[in-house]
Structure formats: C-alpha cells, structure tokens
Amino acid sequence: MKYLSLALKNLLRRPLRSILTIAGVALAVAVAVSLSGFNLGYKRAINGSIEKLGFQVMIMAKGCPYEAATMMLKGGTGLLYLPNEAFENVRKDQEIKSITPIFIGVSQKEGSNISGDSTKSFTIIAGIDVPSFRDMKPWMDFKKGTGYDGGRWFAEDSKQEIVMGFEVAEYEQRKVGDTFYASITPKGKPDAVMREFKVVGVLDRTGTQDDGTVFMPIAAARTYFNQPNDLTIIGVKLKEFSGVKIKEFESRWLKLPEVQVVSLEQVKGTLVSLVGTAQAMVAAVAAIAIIVAVIGVINTILMSVYERTGEIGIMKALGARRGDIFQLIWLETLAICLLGAAVGCVLAFVGSQLVELAIKSLINLGVTGSIVYITGEVLAWAMAGAVALGFFAGLYPAWRASSMRPIEAIRQGE
C-alpha cells in the first residue's frame, strides 16, 4: 500500500462527490485549454492567411483600417478604389522588389437576388496581371484530375477566359472548359449585363480568399465594370523587409491623396484587436471557472477531512506523523485536480471543433482555416496548471487534517 493508492481509494468512498468535483475541474481546464488553443490557433491562422496574401505591404483607398484588413482576407462588397496613377507612381519606388495591381468587383450570381445572403448572392471577381500576381504567390497551382487537367492562366488580352478558385468552382460545379455566367453591373449603368466566360483553369485549394474568387485579366475586368482607371489594391514586396523600411515606404507614399499604406504587421494587429474583447471575456469566464473549481475542490476535501476526523485520529495513533497525513490529503487533492485536468484536456480536444464553430458563428475573425489549435505544449501546461491548482487547493485541508491532535480527532469521530 502506498500513499497514492490510499488517496485514490479514499476518493472512491464518495464516488458521486468525487466525480462532480472532478467534473468541475475538467470543465475549468477544458475552457482554459480551448481558450489557449483559440489564442494559438487564431494567431497561427492570421499568420498563415497573411503569409498567403503574398504581399508585405498593401496600398489601398483610404477608409476604415478594419475594413481594409478583413477585405483582404475575407473579401467584401463595400469596395473603395484608387486611381491607376497611384500604381504608376508607386512602381517607380527603388525599394520595391515586385508590385502587382488588383481590381476587385462583385458580380451577381445567376438566379440570385440582392436581398439574399450577400455571400451566396455575389461572386468576387478579381482582375489581375498574371506575371506579377504569380510572382507574389508562386505556390498557386492548378487543380489536377478528371475535368481539371490542362488548366492554365488566361491570355492577357482575353475577354472571355477566367480562372476559378477552388471553392467557387466546387460551389458552381464548374470544370475546365465549362461556361460561367456572371451578371455584372457596369459603373454608372442602372442594369446588370449577363456575361459569358470560359473556364480555362481551376486553382488548387490555398486556404485563402483566393479559393472563393474568380480571376480574369485586369483589363477585361475594368472594362466590364466600366472602371478603366480604377484599382482596388496594389500589392507590394520590398527588397528589404523590415519595420524601418516599411515605415520609410509608408511615409513616402502616404503623400498620395486618398491612399493608405497597410503593412502585414498592421493587418495582424488589426485582426487581433478585432477579437481582443471577445478573448478577454472568454478569459474572464475561464478564470471564474477555475476559481469555482478551486473552491469546489477545497470544499470537497475539507468535507472529506471532516467526515474522517476519527480515522485521521486513529492513523496518528497508529504512528502517522503530521507529514504523513498532510501527504495523504494533499495527494487526494492532487489526484482530483489531475484527473479533472486529464478529462478536461480530452474534452477540449474533442470539443475544439464545436468551440470553433461557436466562435466563428459569433465573430467575423477574418481568417480561414482552423482557429483552435491545441498542441502538446498547451496540454502540458494545462496539466502543470492542474498540479499547481491541486497544490494550492490542498494546502489548507491538508494542513488542517495534519494539525489535528489525535485524541481530539478520535473523540470527535466517536
């Protein structure tokens, strides 16, 4: 018989009470692990999404920075435009390694109406310059397989050829060689015009907004939308990527009217701040859950000590020292916390998908991919936290039990 074995057997004396206390700890740990996983996963998702933008700096029309950040990652319909002169000016900058102009417009889908869900009613159309765009995103490739083989980029002077992103092609059930219809309203015109396009390629999944975008030559897009001199974004890669260089670049081009320069770091900060309040609230809930769990553990162990006063007295009479009793009670507390933590980790791991769905339904996070990322390190920290929790929660009950005088304990137990 060892102390740990004895402690575990003592917990079995009141199984329901032990299970409820363990459940309380498990819940607190599950919340804490999920929150940590969310923090970690969200930062990871932001980094991943921004890295896949391919740009280090974006130049776009002045407006809300939140809108700018999320538009780049999630798309949007409230588009602002900057003049083509801005691109012509910026491309002369000696610090630029590569630069690409992007025109974004939205077309109404076949059979949909504007009053419906905008994400289902509209298709994002991006007019791009293929060579410079590919230079920004060299990882982009065409989907392979039956119906997709032979995918290619459109000819620069083509008016009818398009390349579809992975998801939009799946949603619209289009393959290479198919026809795609888009209802485009030219700027300044009251009515939409139905356009017919030929799909020349379907892109492989990127995990970014590109998956939901239809690409066409920038000249064609500007023509269809009747905005021959407009751009939505100018994507820029600098020769040297550093905070100083970006600041210098920003100060050089902020002089242009109606233009804002947004670096990736700013976008990250903006997106993190978007969910900062929600994270603080969830952290507060986790903290409350942990405090309640600690109180529950202390209460359970104190009650157990009170019920076993006579037994503790007899143990002391049989030769148990203060340290022995302290160790026994402390191990019981620790066992509850560790078991609770283990269950909580499993709950968090299994429930992370549900948590993700819940968070995504409540907040527009502006990122794609998984946002709850539970690592071994997070789980190890949770277990370590449970040990610390058990250590502190067990101190008072263990001290109280070990401080009992044997004769008084035996007398109380009779």
Partner 1 sequence: MSDIIIQARGLKRYYQRGIETVKALDGVDINIHTGEMVSVLGPSGSGKTTLINLLSCLDAPSAGTLSVAGKEVGGMSEEGLTEVRRGVLGFIFQKFYLLPTLTVAENVELPLLFLGRNRDRAATMEVLKQVGLSDRVGHLPRELSGGQMQRVAIARALMIHPKVLIADEPTGNLDKANSEAIFKLFQHLVTEQGLTVIVTTHNLALGYLADRVITLEDGRILKEERGVAHHAEPELSKV
**Site residues (vs partner 1, CB under 8 A):** 1-3, 6, 9-10, 12-13, 310-311, 313-322, 324, 405-407, 410, 413-414
Give the residue with the Cβ less far from partner 1, 163 or 339: 339
DSSP line for 1-51: --HHHHHHHHHTTSHHHHHHHHHHHHHHHHHHHHHHHHHHHHHHHHHHHHH
Secondary structure of residue 379 in the 3-state scheme: helix
Comparing CB distances to partner 1, the nearer of 212 and 313 is 313
Least distance (Å) between residue 316 CB and partner 1: 7
Q: Which is nearer to partner 1, 8 or 346 (CB)?
A: 8
Minimum CB distance to partner 1 smaller for 93 or for 324: 324
Minimum CB distance to partner 1, residue 413 (Å):
7
Smallest separation (angstroms) from partner 1 to the CB of 308:
9
Nearest distance from residue 274's CB to partner 1, in Å? Answer: 53
The contacts of residue 322 (CB under 8 Å, 6+ apart) are 402, 403
Strands (E), 112-192: 122-128, 161-164, 179-184
39 or 309, CB closer to partner 1? 309
What would you report as the CA-atom Rg of the chain, rounded to the nearest whole angstrom?
Answer: 31
CA 284 to chain centre: 19
d(CA 394, CA 331): 8
Q: How far is CA 406 from CA 75, 221, 401, 402, 409, in A?
A: 73, 89, 10, 10, 5
Measured from the CB atom, the residue of 152 and 405 that comes closer to partner 1 is 405
Instruction: Give whichever of 393 and 410 is closer to partner 1, judged by the CB atom.
Output: 410
> 7 vs 27, which CB is nearer to partner 1?
7
- CB of residue 293 vs partner 1: minimum separation in angstroms? 25
> Cβ 337 to partner 1, closest distance in Å?
20
For the record, the structure tokens of 288 come out as: 């409350």
Cβ neighbours, 10 Å, residue 116: 13
Q: What one-character-per-residue DSSP string does 263-302 give?
A: EHHHHHHHHHHHHHHHHHHHHHHHHHHHHHHHHHHHHHHH
Identify the helix (H) or strand (E) that includes residue 245: helix 243-253
d(CA 382, CA 40): 14
Alpha helices by DSSP H, 308-375: 309-317, 322-362
Nearest approach in angstroms of CB 341 to partner 1 is 23
Instruction: Give bridge partners of residue 88 from the DSSP assignment.
Output: none
Q: Which of 291, 285, 281 is nearest to 392 (CA)?
A: 291
Residue placing its CB nearer to partner 1 in the complex, 333 or 402: 402
Q: Least distance to partner 1 from the beta carbon of 18, Å?
A: 12
CA distance to 52, 232, 268, 348, per residue, from 42 (Å): 15, 27, 10, 16
Instruction: For partner 1, give the closer residue by CB, 264 or 410.
Output: 410
In angstroms, give the least distance from the CB of 24 to partner 1.
Answer: 22
Least separation in angstroms between residue 324's CB and partner 1 is: 5
